Amino acid sequence: MLIKLDGDIKSQICSLIREKYTDAFASLVYGPYAGGYADEKTAISILAVADLNKPTLKFVSERIADRRAHLLITDRENFERDVENEHLGGILSENLLVPYEPIAGADYLWRQEVKIKKKVIKDALANLILDFPEMSKSLLIKTEYFIFECMARKAALFPLTSYRFLNVIGGEIGGRNLAMMTRGFKAAVEELIDEGVLQKINGDMLKISDQYVESVRERRRHRFKTLFSTTRTSMLRYALGIFSDVRKTLLDEYRIYRMKRAKNKSVVNSVREIGNPGKYIFLSTASGTVAFTEKISVEEIVRRYMPKADSSSYTIRKLGGILNSVYILKLSDGNLGNIVIKVFKDWYGWKWFPLALWTLGTRDLAVFGKTRLEREYTMNRLLSNHKINVPKIIYVNPEEKVIFQEYIEGTTASKLVKQLYKLKDGEEKRRIHESIREIGREIAKIHSLGVSIGDCKLENIILTSDGKIFFVDLEQAEKGGDQAWDIAEFLYYPGHYALLPPLNVVKEVVREFIYGYIESGGKVENVKRALSPKYIKVFSFSTPPHIIFIISDLCRRLLRDLEEKSLQDFEGS
């Protein structure tokens, strides 16, 4: 039979503390009695904070209302330091994370509760930022994430704690207890919003501020500090001295959980089974928000994104890709468009070695599948928000490392260049020239956002039938990065399309691209750097030396002409 913490028991607790521990100014009941799931065998767990002249941490047993009681007594300084930085390993402050019943000093305990929950949230945010450095600015988070992430992390560090969490949020009283815990987390969130750490999006969603992401990433570079001072080490040892006593409360939690499990086999046996933290993190896509942990079938993708299509009639064909698995999902009705499915594999072994060798000393490529997926998603969203044409992302699952995107129908820039090899003067040739110049303009716009494309070969640039230019395969794109590499790859890489490409066509491509890039505000310095031996050596394996010479020489002459024209315009004004 469950026993509630009634007014009589609370009154006797208050009298006991007043009589025996006169310096105590704040006290609370934690554990099964506070959570509403205590039985006749359960001891009452009490924490008292006192104004004492020396560090104190002791555990005593008492009798209250004919029941066993475990009383944990500490001084104010130790308690507050445990709240601020888990000075005692969280033995004290952890009791503020779960439901508790204040006996005295309720206002003080509330302030400390909000403080510890702010710390928990900031720790969770730091972990997200370090785990998903590229994607963290795009995450949409619900407050519940911090509760379940905290539970999962603490249960992993100390498994016995998991039974407390399972008891607290399981069964009929789970909703009531979760509401009690959420109140403090919401107050902590509001303070973090005021401090510029979080931003509120779409009502109940939260977003990490760009400034906080950058500050955490910067601290990561300087995080090698002394982890434990001598004082903290000694206090932790002191804390461990009473841990066998504190463990009695957790053993009560274990006993209660086992009794529930014996009566009902459907009782879950993992904190994650009750609330996987990942289901409270979302990413925006063209078809709405998607939870981190959401796993979805191809049929469901088709139903959501293309409601007019027959979700049961489609074919999937491998598009290729040595370093990724890329598939195209073709619908029976070709007028409704197609979908690209991209699975990001980790690069390792001999598949990765030739690519690493090719760019050695010039370009650092993202190797891990998770990192490349992050970049693809983050840069796609950034460019789309700035009116750069990129494929719409329909669905993303970071845990499975998979992205569904719209398939872009059109002609790649590589095919345009190859067409130039065969064309004489005429309207078609002038149209292709203008398209190449427009590609230069678009790349300049991307660079003006502080973004480098990373994989700027012509196969990743598509011209659609309505004249739009799309950039695909953004898995190497990043904020910052090497913009000169983008220019070098665009200019030198096509040199291998033909054994002896017409020199006039090579010059035309270079001229149109450079003019388009510079006239849209592209940095001259980027072009100059692309002409250095650092980049030329990378493409010397595939592009004939005389083609590389012609490209680099023409670029220098075009830059010189542009600088002279700019000077003349300045003098003329």
pLDDT digit string (tens) for 131-167? 888 899 999 999 999 999 988 888 877 777 888 888 8
Mean pLDDT of 320-341: 70
Banded pLDDT at 277 (limits 50, 70, 90):
confident
- Helical spans, DSSP H, in 221-346: 230-263, 271-274, 298-305
Q: In angstroms, what CA-CA distances link 403 with 341, 363, 406?
A: 6, 25, 10
Distance, in Å, from the CA atom of 112 to the CA atom of 119, rounded to the nearest integer, reads 11
Q: In angstroms, what CA-CA distances link 542 with 473, 487, 510, 546?
A: 22, 17, 18, 12
Q: What pLDDT does 311 receive?
A: 55
The 10s digit of each residue's pLDDT in 43-56 is 899 999 999 888 88
Mean pLDDT of 183-202: 95
Q: What pLDDT does 196 receive?
A: 96
Q: Dihedral through CA 291, CA 296, CA 299, CA 305, nearest 10?
A: 20
Q: Which of 455, 473, 482, 486 is catalytic?
A: 455
Q: What pLDDT does 291 receive?
A: 86
* Helix/strand/coil for 276: coil
Answer with the residue of higher pLDDT: 286 or 468: 468
Mean pLDDT of the chain: 83
Q: What is the DSSP letter of 542?
A: T
455 is catalytic: yes
For 10, residues 6+ apart whose C-beta sits below 8 A from its C-beta are 29, 101, 103
Q: What pLDDT does 121 receive?
A: 96
Q: From the CA atom positions of the chain, what is the Rg in Å?
A: 32
Q: What pLDDT does 265 receive?
A: 64
Evaluate if residue 386 carries a pLDDT over 90: yes
Percent share of the chain, pLDDT over 70: 83
Evaluate if residue 36 carries a pLDDT over 50: yes
Banded pLDDT at 106 (limits 50, 70, 90):
very high
How many Cβ atoms from other residues are within 10 Å of residue 541's Cβ?
A: 9
Mean pLDDT is lowest, of 6-15, 310-319, 369-378, 512-521, for 310-319
Banded pLDDT at 540 (limits 50, 70, 90):
confident
Q: What pLDDT does 81 receive?
A: 93
Mean pLDDT of 69-98: 90
Kindly tell me the burial class for residue 563, based on how many C-beta atoms sit within 10 Å of its own C-beta (0-12, 13-18, 19 or more). exposed
Mean pLDDT of 336-341: 78
Q: What pLDDT does 514 receive?
A: 94
Q: What pLDDT does 256 receive?
A: 85
Answer with the residue of higher pLDDT: 355 or 297: 297
Q: What pLDDT does 571 receive?
A: 43
Q: What pLDDT does 547 receive?
A: 86
Banded pLDDT at 468 (limits 50, 70, 90):
very high
pTM as predicted: 0.80
Banded pLDDT at 318 (limits 50, 70, 90):
confident
Q: What is the DSSP letter of 38?
A: B
Q: What pLDDT does 129 receive?
A: 92
Q: Are 70 and 34 contacting, i.e. CB atoms less than 8 angstroms apart?
A: no
Question: Which domains, and CATH codes, for the chain?
Answer: 1-104+227-263 (3.30.460), 106-223 (1.10.10), 295-406 (3.30.200.20), 411-572 (1.10.510.10)
Q: What pLDDT does 309 receive?
A: 61
Element (H, E) at 218: helix 210-220
Q: What pLDDT does 152 receive?
A: 85
Evaluate if residue 324 carries a pLDDT over 70: no
Evaluate if residue 384 carries a pLDDT over 60: yes
Banded pLDDT at 453 (limits 50, 70, 90):
very high
Kindly tell me the burial class for residue 69, based on how many C-beta atoms sit within 10 Å of its own C-beta (0-12, 13-18, 19 or more). buried
